[in-house]
């Protein structure tokens, strides 16, 4: 697995931190669960460009390069860790569809 490193200002939240029905990582999956591997791990960070640069230097396999998605206002990339698991990184762009989630993500955790 990728070592747990923190970038200044990153906030770590789990799927359980999101209000019911509002977890963006559960709305659609990249592949199905199997007995040997979880579906994927999703990190949501404002510092997505910095994370991409940092992980690219680790020479990990990139599945989907850093880009703004065409069909939804999110900046994202996906890599494989050394065990072959998907690690997805997202940040929600300023857009009316993201108002609720951005308000939640930028609030101070209790």
Say which CATH number the domain at 69 has. 3.30.720.110
Instruction: Please report the beta strands in 11-71, taking only residues with DSSP state E, as ranges in sequence order.
Output: 41-44, 62-68
Number of domains making up the chain:
1
| Domain contains 99 | yes
Strands 62-68 and 74-80: antiparallel
Tens digit of pLDDT at every position of the chain (110 positions) = 333 444 444 444 444 555 555 555 554 555 566 666 666 788 999 999 999 999 999 888 899 999 999 888 999 999 988 877 788 999 999 999 999 989 888 886 65
Range of the domain at 80: 39-110
Asked, for residue 77, whether it belongs to a domain, the answer is: yes
Name the nearest CA neighbour of 108 among 13, 5, 4. Answer: 13
Could you tell me if residue 63 is inside a domain?
yes
Domain-embedded: residue 108? yes
Six token digits for residue 59: 């020479």
- Domain assignment of residue 49, yes or no: yes
pTM for the model stands at 0.66
Return the ∠ at Cα 28 (arms to 104 and 71), rounded to 5°: 80
The predicted structure's pLDDT at residue 32: 60
């Amino acid at each position: 697995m990728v070592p747990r490193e923190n970038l200044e200002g990153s906030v770590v939240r789990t799927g359980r931190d999101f209000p019911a029905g509002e977890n963006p990582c559960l709305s659609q999956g990249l592949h199905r669960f199997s007995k040997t591997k979880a579906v994927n791990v999703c990190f949501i960070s404002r510092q997505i460009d910095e994370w991409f640069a940092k992980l690219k230097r680790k020479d990990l396999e990139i599945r989907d390069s850093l880009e703004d998605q065409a069909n939804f206002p999110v900046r994202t990339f996906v890599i494989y860790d050394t065990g072959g698991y998907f690690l997805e990184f997202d940040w929600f762009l300023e857009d009316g569809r993201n108002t609720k989630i951005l308000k939640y993500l930028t609030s101070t955790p209790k």
